[in-house]
Amino acid sequence: MARICPLFSGSSGNSTYILSSEGGILIDAGASFKSLCESIEVAGGSLDTLRAVAVTHEHGDHIKGLKTLLKKTGVPIVASQKTLETLIKADLIPQDTKTLYAEQTKEICGIGIERFATSHDCEGSSGYVIKLADGKKIAVCTDLGIVTDEVRNAITGCDAVLIESNHDIEMLKRGPYPPQLKLRIMSDNGHLSNNACATELTGLLKSGTTRFILGHISKNNNLPMLALSCAKATLADIGAKNGSDYILTVAKPCSNEVTLI
């Protein structure tokens, strides 16, 4: 049985740990090396079984502990060519790191890795589908302004999906952010709202997804209860109930809660 653990989620840092019998995959490393190590151990894993770090993009809240983690463990980094070029140019990863283009990487130590492009305000931004030996598929899909056909095709049919539910539109509009930043967040290269996220859940449920984790929830423009209620209400419109037809949770800013599949 595989474990999915959003170690960190939100504007302050993002990192998701997926552990199966084949080993562990870390998606993003947006916390200190010490914090990452401690959280992985509490989640039931260890650095000894870590097979790779897949990076979605180069923003600081996704790579804070990346350089130290790669230096200490020697595991390869998987990312889009554009993201790798940016990280190398900015000296954000050790020079001797084994780099793997996500566009070409299909498997690491028996764990399948499928990259899909996301619509965010940087080149090469990615989401990932992790395919396990038992056939189960887990998607991590955050930092995207819209759900494109490529994103939808990639995550459809996954057993579990961690998807962004970043902001409540009204809270964002009334909030303290300057107008330009608000427009950026609401743009096609920004972040998904609760409403946009909830709409995607209905299609995912129909495709067979039964585990949903709402991630990257804004500290200033959202509340976990708002994200949950929006998702539940939308799924209720198609007759689905949490706890019987699906299991829905919210990724906390710092947590070791595990979802099993």
Per-residue pLDDT of 167-182, as tens digits, reads 999 999 999 999 999 9
pLDDT band at 135 (very low <50, low <70, confident <90, very high): very high
pLDDT at residue 83 above 80?
yes
**What is the reported pLDDT for 1?**
85
> d(Cα 193, Cα 32) in Å, to the nearest integer?
28
**What is the reported pLDDT for 38?**
96
Quick one: what percent of the chain has pLDDT higher than 70?
A: 100
CA 121 to chain centre: 16
Residues in the chain: 261
> d(Cα 106, Cα 111) in Å, to the nearest integer?
8
**What is the reported pLDDT for 257?**
84
As a whole number, mean pLDDT of residues 208-223 equals 97
Burial 146-164 (b: 16+ CB within 10 A, else e): ebeeebeebbbebbbbbbb
With a threshold of 0.95, does the pTM exceed it?
yes
Strand 107-108 relative to strand 111-117, pairing: antiparallel
> d(Cα 143, Cα 48) in Å, to the nearest integer?
29
Using a 10 angstrom Cβ sphere, with 0-12 exposed, 13-18 middle and 19 or more buried, the burial of residue 10 is buried
**What is the reported pLDDT for 254?**
93
Instruction: Give the three-class secondary structure for 158.
Output: coil
Strand 50-54 relative to strand 107-108, pairing: unpaired
**What is the reported pLDDT for 157?**
97
pLDDT tens, position by position, 15-67: 999 999 999 999 999 999 999 999 999 999 999 999 999 999 999 999 999 99
As a whole number, mean pLDDT of residues 119-128 equals 97
pLDDT band at 236 (very low <50, low <70, confident <90, very high): very high
As a whole number, mean pLDDT of residues 137-142 equals 98
Helix runs in the chain, H state only: 33-42, 60-63, 66-73, 81-89, 149-155, 169-174, 179-186, 194-206, 224-236
> d(Cα 81, Cα 257) in Å, to the nearest integer?
32
Tokens of 41: 């151990």
pLDDT at residue 260 above 90?
no
* CB neighbour list of residue 200: distance below 8 Å, 6 or more residues apart: 147, 152, 163
pLDDT at residue 196 above 90?
yes
Quick one: what percent of the chain has pLDDT higher than 90?
A: 97
As a whole number, mean pLDDT of residues 100-119 equals 96
pLDDT at residue 256 above 80?
no
